[in-house]
């Protein structure tokens, strides 16, 4: 067990992920920032990615791993969980809208069930 914990604590990808989680969560801890800082970060995408790179670099102390984590973060947020992307893996509630045909099929199934178990 000790070896396993030592390997995890020395894993740069794991530490980079923890730092990212910490910094995403800190958004909700520090709510007293002035509005002009929020506008600055929302306007300049390069600034947000620079901050993210610095977070990864502080956690890993490795430029290559930091760039890799930044690229993975970019791919994940721009494609995998972005509902506007064709590569999105997250269900879009609008696409899963229940149609009238779905309702009729479900209603027929319920009626058949009730007849069988009456």
pLDDT of residue 5: 79
Q: How many CB atoms lie within 10 A of CB 94?
A: 7
Q: How many CB atoms lie within 10 A of CB 66?
A: 21
Q: What is the mean pLDDT of the chain?
A: 82
Instruction: Give the domain ranges of the chain.
Output: 2-90
How confident is the model over 48-67, as pLDDT tens digits?
Answer: 888 888 888 887 878 899 99
CA–CA gap between residue 19 and residue 12 (Å, rounded): 10
Question: Please, which pLDDT band fits residue 110 given cuts at 50, 70 and 90?
Answer: very high
Question: Please, which pLDDT band fits residue 116 given cuts at 50, 70 and 90?
Answer: very high
Question: Please, which pLDDT band fits residue 93 given cuts at 50, 70 and 90?
Answer: low
């Amino acid at each position: 067990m000790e070896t396993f914990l030592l390997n995890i604590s020395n894993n740069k990808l794991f530490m980079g992920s923890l730092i990212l989680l910490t910094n995403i969560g800190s958004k909700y801890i520090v709510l007293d920032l002035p509005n002009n800082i929020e506008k600055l970060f929302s306007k300049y995408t390069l600034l947000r990615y620079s901050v993210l790179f610095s977070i990864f670099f502080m956690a890993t102390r490795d430029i290559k791993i930091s760039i890799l984590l930044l690229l993975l973060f970019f791919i994940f947020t721009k494609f995998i969980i972005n509902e506007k992307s064709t590569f999105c893996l997250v269900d879009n509630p609008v696409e899963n809208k229940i149609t009238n045909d779905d309702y009729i099929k479900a209603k027929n199934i319920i009626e058949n069930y009730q007849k069988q178990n009456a």
